[in-house]
Structure 1
Amino acid sequence: MILLQSLRSTSKISFGKDMKEATLDHALSITQLQRHRRIDDACRKQDEHRLAEEQQNPGHTNWKPEEHTDWLLFEIDADIIIRDDQINVARATISPAFGLNCVLQMNMGQGKTSVIMPILASAIADGKGIARLVVPRALLLQTAQILQARLGGLVGREVSHVPFSRKTPIGIMLTQPDHVLSSRLSGLQVTSDNHMESAQVMIPMQTWLDQFSRDVVDECDFALAVKTQLIYPSGTQLAVDGHPHRWTVPQILLGVLETYMKEMRLSDPLSFDLRLVEDICNGKLPLLPWVSQNRIESVRSYLLEFNIPEGTAESAYTVFPDQSPARQTLCILRGLLVHGILFLCLKKRWNVQYGLHPGRDTIAVPFHAKGIPSEQAEWGHPDVAIVLTCLAFYYKGLTETWNHLRFEQVVINDYLNDFVFPVHAKQFKSKLQASGLDIPSFSQGTRRPHSLTTGFSGTNDNKRMLPLTIRQGDLPALSHTNAEVLAYLLEPRNREYTVAEGFMGKRLSETEFLCRLKESKIRILIDAGAHILEFDNRGLARQWLTIDYEAAAAVYFNAVNKSSVIYRNGTEVPLLASPFAEDLSGCLVYLDEAHTRGTDLKFPMKARGALTLSLGQTNDHTVQAAMRLRQLGHSQSIMFVGSPEVHQSIKDHSGKCFVDRFESHDVVRWLLEQTCRANEELRPLYLAQGFDFCSRQDANSLLQPEQQTLEQLYHPSNAETVRHRSSCGNGQVHKFWTGRSPSRLRRCDRRQAQMPQHFPAHKFPGRGAELLHFSKTGSIRTHGWYEPMFNAIRRTRTGMTRNVPARNTNVLVSTEFTRTIKIGNKQSWRDDFLRPINWILRSPTAGKAVVIIPEEAERLSPILRDVNPPRTYLIVYSAPISKQMLHFNTFRYYTVPELKTDLPPLVKLELGILAGRLYFSFDECQPIVRYLDPHAFLHSDNDEASKKAASSNLLSRRFLEEWFSLMIKGGSFTYTPMGYVCRGTAS
Structure 2
Amino acid sequence: MRGLGNGQSVMFFLPPEVSNNMKRQTSQVSSLDVVRWALWQTSDALMTLSPLWASHGLQYYKRARLWDNLTGGSEQLETVSRMQEPEARTLSQLYAPWDPMPFLPTDGHHDQRDPVIRELMRVSGGGQWNSQLHEEQERQISHEVQREQQVCRPPGVSPRPHSLHKDIRYFAKHGKFSTECPSPAVRRAFECLRQTSAGQFDFPSSLAPRLYATRDFALTAKQQKGTLADDFLKPVHWVLSNIHNPDLLLLSQYEANELLPEVNASETTTLHVYTPRTTKSMRSFGDLRFFHTGARFDDQRSPHENTQDLELFAGSLYFESFRRYENFRQFLGLITDDCRQIPDNRLSDEGFVDEQTRQEIGWPVQSPFRSNPLPFLDAIFNLRSRGHGYLQTHIGMILGARRLTADQF
AA at the equivalent of 1:986:
L
Quick check: 1:778–1:845 contact (8 Å CA) kept in 2? yes
Q: Note the C-alpha offset of 1:871.
A: 2.1
**Residue 325 of structure 2 is aligned to residue 925 of structure 1:** yes
Question: Are the structure 2 counterparts of residues 610 and 910 from structure 1 closer, same or farther at C-alpha, using a change threshold of 3 Å?
Answer: same
1:864 aligned partner = 263
- Give the superposition deviation at 1:796: 0.9
Matched to 1:835, the amino acid is K
Which residue of 2 is the match for residue 811 of structure 1? 211
Pick from 299, 318, 323: which aligns with 1:901?
299
Is the contact made by 1:937 and 1:956 (CA closer than 8 Å) also made in structure 2? no
> Residue in 2 aligned with 1:243?
none
**Structure 2 stretches lacking a partner, 5+ long:** 1-5, 7-12, 14-33, 66-83, 94-100, 106-144, 336-345, 359-366
Matched position secondary structure for 1:938 = coil
Paired letter, 2:291: Y
Q: CA deviation at 1:889?
A: 2.3
Q: Which has the larger radius of gyration?
A: 2
Aligned partner of 2:238 in structure 1 is: 839
Q: Which amino acid aligns with 2:298?
A: K
The answer to whether the aligner puts 1:798 opposite 2:198 as a matched pair is yes
1:979 and 2:378 aligned: no
Provide, for residues 168-217 of structure 1, a one-character-per-residue CA deviation record: whole Å limited to 9, x for no partner: xxxxxxxxxxxxxxxxxxxxxxxxxxxxxxxxxxxxxxxxxxxxxxxxxx
Name the SS for the 1:888 alignment partner. Answer: coil
1:732-790 deviations in Å (ceiling 9; x for gaps): xxxxxxxxxxxxxxxx9x99968535624424332111111222232243332122122
Q: Which of these residues, 280, 290, 313, is aligned with residue 914 of structure 1?
A: 313
1:29-88 CA distance string (max 9 Å, x none): xxxxxxxxxxxxxxxxxxxxxxxxxxxxxxxxxxxxxxxxxxxxxxxxxxxxxxxxxxxx
Partner of 1:7 in structure 2? none
Deviation at 1:626, TM superposition (A): 8.2
Q: Is the 8 A contact 1:778 1:844 kept in 2?
A: yes
SS for the counterpart of 1:961 is helix
Structure 2 match to 1:766: 163
Report the AA paired with residue 348 of structure 2: L
Q: CA deviation at 1:862?
A: 0.6
Secondary structure of residue in 2 paired with 1:886: coil
Q: 1:773, 1:662 → 2: CA distance?
A: 95
2:378 pairs with 1:961: yes
Deviations 1:773-826 (A, max 9, x none): 2222322433321221222223211331x332322421111122122222212x
In structure 1, distance between residues paired with 2:271 and 2:240: 5
TM-score, scaled to structure 1: 0.25
Q: Please give the per-residue CA displacement for 1:557-580, whole angstroms capped at 9, x wherever unaligned.
A: xxxxxxxxxxxxxxxxxxxxxxxx
Shift of the 773–662 alpha-carbon distance from structure 1 to 2, 3 Å rule, reads farther
Distance 1:590 1:657 in 2: 25
Is 1:656 aligned to 2:89, yes or no? yes
SS state at 2:212 partner: strand
Residue in 2 that maps onto 1:488: none
Q: Is the 2:188–2:211 contact (alpha carbons within 8 Å) kept by the matching residues of 1?
A: yes
Q: Does 1:891 align with 2:288?
A: yes
* Structure-to-structure mapping, 1:405-484, within 5 angstroms: none
Alignment-mate amino acid for residue 759 of structure 1:
G
Which of 762, 766, 778 does residue 175 from structure 2 map onto? 778
Post-superposition CA distance 1:256-300 (Å, at most 9, x none): xxxxxxxxxxxxxxxxxxxxxxxxxxxxxxxxxxxxxxxxxxxxx
Q: CA 1:547 to 1:969, structure 2 compared with 1: closer, same or farther past 3 Å?
A: closer
Say whether the 8 Å CA contact 1:794–1:804 is kept in structure 2.
no
Q: 1:662 to 1:862 in 2, by over 3 A?
A: farther
- The alignment status of 1:938 with 2:370, answered yes or no, reads no
Partner secondary structure for residue 171 of structure 2: helix
Q: Aligned-pair distance for 1:546? A: 3.7
Quote the Cα distance in structure 2 between the aligned partners of 1:807 and 1:960.
Answer: 16
- TM normalised by structure 2 equals 0.56
Contact 2:198 2:376 in 1 (8 A): yes
Q: Deviations over 1:331-351 (max 9, x none)?
A: xxxxxxxxxxxxxxxxxxxxx
**C-alpha separation in 1, matches of 2:36 and 2:231:** 48
User: For residues 272 and 314 of structure 2, what CA distance do their matches in structure 1 show?
Assistant: 14
Q: Deviations over 1:125-158 (max 9, x none)?
A: xxxxxxxxxxxxxxxxxxxxxxxxxxxxxxxxxx
Q: 1:904 to 1:939 in 2, by over 3 A?
A: same
Segments of 5+ residues of structure 1 without an aligned counterpart are: 1-400, 402-510, 512-538, 555-587, 592-607, 614-621, 634-649, 666-747
Task: State the secondary structure of the residue aligned to 2:299.
Answer: coil
| Matching of residues 875-890 of structure 1 within 5 Å | 875-890=272-287
Instruction: Give identity over the alignment, percent.
Output: 18
Counterpart of 1:610? 52
Match of 1:87 in 2: none
Q: How far has the Cα of 1:913 moved from its partner?
A: 0.4
Amino acid at match of 2:395: M
Is 2:306 aligned against 1:873? Answer: no
Structure 1 residues 884 and 541: CA distance shift in structure 2, 3 A: same
Contact 1:932/1:954 (<8 A) preserved = no
Quickly say closer, same or farther: Cα 1:938–1:542, change in 2 above 3 A.
farther
Whether the 8 Å CA contact 1:841–1:872 is kept in 2: the answer is: yes
Contact preservation (8 Å) 1:762, 1:819: no
**Residues 1:829 and 1:875: Cα distance change in structure 2 (over 3 Å):** farther
Does structure 1 conserve the Cα–Cα contact (< 8 Å) formed by 2:333 and 2:369? Answer: no
Q: What CA RMSD, in Å, does the superposition of the two structures yield over aligned residues?
A: 4.5
Flag the 1:885–1:899 CA change in 2: closer, same or farther, 3 A: farther
